[in-house]
Structure 1
Amino acid sequence: MHKGVIYALLAAILFGISTPFAKTMVADIAPVMLAGVLYLGSGLGLLLVFLLRAAMFRNRQDKFVAVTRVDLPWLAGAILTGGIAGPVLLMAGLTLTPASTTSLLLNMEGVLTALLAWFVFKENFDRRIFLGMLLIVVAGALLSWEQVPVLGVPWGALAIIAACLCWAIDNNLTRKVAASDALQIVGIKGLVAGSVNLGIALLSGHQLPQAYTLLSVGLIGFCGYGLSLVMFVLALRHLGAARTGAYFSSAPFVGTVVSLLLLSEQPGNMFWLAAFLMVAGIWLHLTENHEHEHAHEPLLHAHEHTHDSHHQHEHDPDWDGSEPHVHQHQHHPVRHKHPHYPDIHHQHTH
């Protein structure tokens, strides 16, 4: 299996598990406070991992690409949309929506990510990918419609879909900096977004939860928003935004299983129809094969790599031969054919 797919599925599993656990905290913590603690838990946990990694690899700085000044505008936009606005909207939606339904509605993040990637950032797609996304959209609409008789306007579903839109923007902006250190990108996002949301909560008069609850939510944030997003950034590097979003669409099904087991919810018939459509849509993406002759233009950049068919370049005489490694390198023009995704080396037109 392609390592980008593995990264995306690991991200999906970690995030999918976190949603129903976050749902159990909503009744006791205000949404903005919960969002702040989740992201701050993510940022602080990743800061510890970053420091441990720095100590372990203090003599191997060639393994990581630090975030640069050029990355900052893209990263700032990602933090504002995905780190601050998105979590608050999700927590608000959780207060009005069953966790199992929420988990499936979160598939809309993949759909909206793909739409932005295709029509704004010009990633390629074909009929199979489009059909898969269409099935997921229909499933999301069914889940929203199921709430109308109970709630009138489905504010919970709309808040969750708005959160998905924020994360879709975040995903496409993060795609621009995915060649840099994923741990640093996600750690900065967690620290900044968590501090902002926590500050807003405190200024609004909300109190910090008890220590046990604080630690529990922080741990959920570290796993579901920290480690998950690190895997997601690595997947963006190898798959592009649309494909990563598609594979990440498996996250809600993990969340649904946990919700049904943990919270003993009883979903209706519409839920199962929506679930069937979403499974079919995700299957279409998982079975995609994209191969054609394509040309690589000259490119100068830096990222972690091995000397595969795309990385045949000269090295300084003092290179110790270790792989994978990081350094700025030049890609020369080449034309060839092989299965590929729109990763950082395959952003050609079709």
Structure 2
Amino acid sequence: MRTLHHAALTALLAAALFGATTPLAKALLGSLSPFMVAGLFYLGSGIGLALCIGVLRLRRSAAERRNESRLHLAELPWLLGAIAAGGIAGPALLMLGLSSTAAASSSLLLNLEGVFTAVIAWVVFRENVDLQIFLGMLAIVAGGVALSWQPGSASLSVGALLIIGACLAWAIDNNLTRKVSTNDAMVIACVKGLVAGSVNLCIALLLGDRLPGIAGMAAAMGTGFAGYGVSLVLFVVALRNLGSARTGAYFSVAPLFGVALSLVLWPEVPSLLFWLAAALMALGVWLHIRERHEHQHTHEALAHTHRHRHDEHHQHEHDFDWDGEEPHTHPHQHAPITHTHAHFPDIHHRHSH
């Protein structure tokens, strides 16, 4: 259970960083266009992570560099699809939605990303779903509807619909990224940041936007490095250990951090509907957090590369001189095994039920 607790903490930290980014993006929209903000956010994350990767590689030994996980050609379509959905479509829709939606409402509405992530994981990628998880998602959906409903109107606002579209794009991104999550999380996040940032920035410049001053660029790129870059690295690690649906559920607390910061930036008294939505979403997240999934299951033979410790799933020999340091990364094989323990649909537990 220790690994599961660490994975949950990783997902929650990713949520905190991303949630705080939303109201900051709202503040930047006053002087920058949505595409410019999205471009600088992602470019900042990509450049910042590229520098981190360079520094870390200089500190690694030649043997460690040889054993690093590398993307395979068959995995590229999954990564490119994730970049297109989550790195290009998602941020553009979010920025357009933020320009006409209150910051606190926008932050809580982003809980729907977890719902869409889970639905795609269950229906398309066949992750298992328990009744408790399903009820939690229903609570989050109800909260999202209550939050985005306009008084005196029978339809959702355009801004809310754009943010919902961003959530769907990121949900597709999350499930596609899960397919490559055994690889170096920092490299995956760096590539996504550089590609998505360049595309969004080019769109902004083609539409006639101009780059902000040095101070504005530094603020946007620094925010993107923490809220999109570091957050995405942690999110990919969580995907590796929890699966798409569960990681999306933990990530659903991101709007709570966004709400806290937005109310500091723009003080106001939240409405009763706001508190109702918050309560429903909090209930949904709580139901996910208290889940325990345990049954006898069989691991088929598997060969892959990822960062690991020698736990019950990694009892293998080494074909190189090992200094005993853990965790470490190298190609390894898993022998078939049948046992019972609490688990989530991580990279070692993607079995049918």
TM-score, normalization by structure 2? 0.96
Letter in 1 for 2:73: R
Unaligned 5+ runs, structure 1: none
Contact conserved, 1:100 with 1:256, CA < 8 A, in 2?
yes
Contact conserved, 2:106 with 2:163, CA < 8 A, in 1?
yes
For 1:15 and 1:151, how far apart are their aligned partners in 2?
31
The alpha-carbon distance between structure 1 residues 153 and 8, as it changes in their structure 2 partners (threshold 3 A), is closer
Partner of 2:6: 3
Contact conserved, 1:259 with 1:265, CA < 8 A, in 2?
no
For 2:94 and 2:154, how far apart are their aligned partners in 1?
17
Pair 1:37-2:40 in alignment: yes
Pair 1:230-2:237 in alignment: no
Partner of 1:83: 87
Deviation at 1:66, TM superposition (A): 2.4
Deviation at 1:58, TM superposition (A): 4.0
The alpha-carbon distance between structure 1 residues 152 and 29, as it changes in their structure 2 partners (threshold 3 A), is farther
SS at match of 1:335: strand
- 1:175-202: per-residue Cα shift (whole Å, max 9, x none)? 0000000000000000000001001110
Contact conserved, 1:43 with 1:222, CA < 8 A, in 2?
yes
Partner of 2:78: 74
For 2:235 and 2:168, how far apart are their aligned partners in 1?
16
Partner of 2:52: 49
Contact conserved, 1:174 with 1:233, CA < 8 A, in 2?
yes
Contact conserved, 2:109 with 2:147, CA < 8 A, in 1?
yes
Partner of 2:138: 134
Structure-to-structure mapping, 1:1-350, within 5 angstroms: 2-59=5-62, 60-61=64-65, 64-145=68-149, 147=150, 149=152, 153-316=156-319, 318-350=321-353
TM-score, normalization by structure 1? 0.97
Deviation at 1:321, TM superposition (A): 2.7
SS at match of 1:19: helix
- 1:281-334: per-residue Cα shift (whole Å, max 9, x none)? 000001111111111111111111111100111211533332222222111111
For 1:28 and 1:266, how far apart are their aligned partners in 2?
26
- 1:241-285: per-residue Cα shift (whole Å, max 9, x none)? 000000000100011011111221332111100000000100000
For 1:306 and 1:257, how far apart are their aligned partners in 2?
37
For 2:194 and 2:292, how far apart are their aligned partners in 1?
38
For 1:317 and 1:186, how far apart are their aligned partners in 2?
29
Unaligned 5+ runs, structure 2: none
For 1:300 and 1:25, how far apart are their aligned partners in 2?
46
SS at match of 1:336: strand
The alpha-carbon distance between structure 1 residues 246 and 152, as it changes in their structure 2 partners (threshold 3 A), is closer
- 1:207-234: per-residue Cα shift (whole Å, max 9, x none)? 1112111110111100100000000000
For 1:36 and 1:151, how far apart are their aligned partners in 2?
35
Letter in 2 for 1:201: A
Contact conserved, 1:62 with 1:326, CA < 8 A, in 2?
no
Deviation at 1:152, TM superposition (A): 6.4
The alpha-carbon distance between structure 1 residues 153 and 321, as it changes in their structure 2 partners (threshold 3 A), is closer
Contact conserved, 2:309 with 2:327, CA < 8 A, in 1?
yes
Contact conserved, 1:66 with 1:184, CA < 8 A, in 2?
no
The alpha-carbon distance between structure 1 residues 25 and 149, as it changes in their structure 2 partners (threshold 3 A), is farther
- 1:44-77: per-residue Cα shift (whole Å, max 9, x none)? 1111111111111143326631223222111100
For 1:318 and 1:286, how far apart are their aligned partners in 2?
40
Q: Kindly tell me the number of residue pairs found equivalent between the two proteins.
A: 349
SS at match of 2:128: coil
The alpha-carbon distance between structure 1 residues 203 and 148, as it changes in their structure 2 partners (threshold 3 A), is farther
Deviation at 1:170, TM superposition (A): 0.1
For 1:298 and 1:152, how far apart are their aligned partners in 2?
51
For 2:231 and 2:153, how far apart are their aligned partners in 1?
33
CA RMSD of aligned residues (A): 1.4
Contact conserved, 1:62 with 1:325, CA < 8 A, in 2?
no
Letter in 2 for 1:123: E
SS at match of 1:200: helix
